[in-house]
Amino acid sequence: AQTVTQSQPEMSVQEAETVTLSCTYDTSESNYYLFWYKQPPSRQMILVIRQEAYKQQNATENRFSVNFQKAAKSFSLKISDSQLGDTAMYFCAFTMKTSYDKVIFGPGTSLSVIP
């Protein structure tokens, strides 16, 4: 069975600084997808970034980038130039190829951006 682990329950970062959130996962599959979802205090879950396992290039979305280490089964999220609006719970998630397969969420990391 697939599992997702986030070892940092809470983190904080100064505004404009860079922070990295850790995620590790366990699977025997070779073709899968990884995600970082953000859930602000308003509670709507939104997709931050996604990575396809067969792609070696790390995904990037503006200030958000990932460090995907497939052999190590590691998928960390780097937030550059942190903004107050980045304060949220961040969930690392795993799924197989199709949406018919369920998403496995990690326990989450609560990030606070400090002015």
User: Which of these segments, 22-30, 46-54, 56-64, 72-80, binds another protein (CB under 8 A)?
Assistant: 46-54
Residues numbered 24-43 forming contacts with another protein, rule: CB under 8 A: 33, 35, 37, 42-43
Provide the pairing of β-strand 33-39 with 19-21. unpaired
**Backbone phi, psi, residue 98, to 5°:** -110, 160
Give the C-alpha separation, 27 to 77, whole Å: 19
Rank residues 16 and 45 by Cβ distance to another protein and give the closer one: 45
User: Which of these segments, 18-26, 60-68, 78-86, 104-112, binds another protein (CB under 8 A)?
Assistant: 104-112
Do residues 21 and 90 touch, judged by C-beta distance below 8 A? yes
45 binds another protein (CB under 8 A): yes
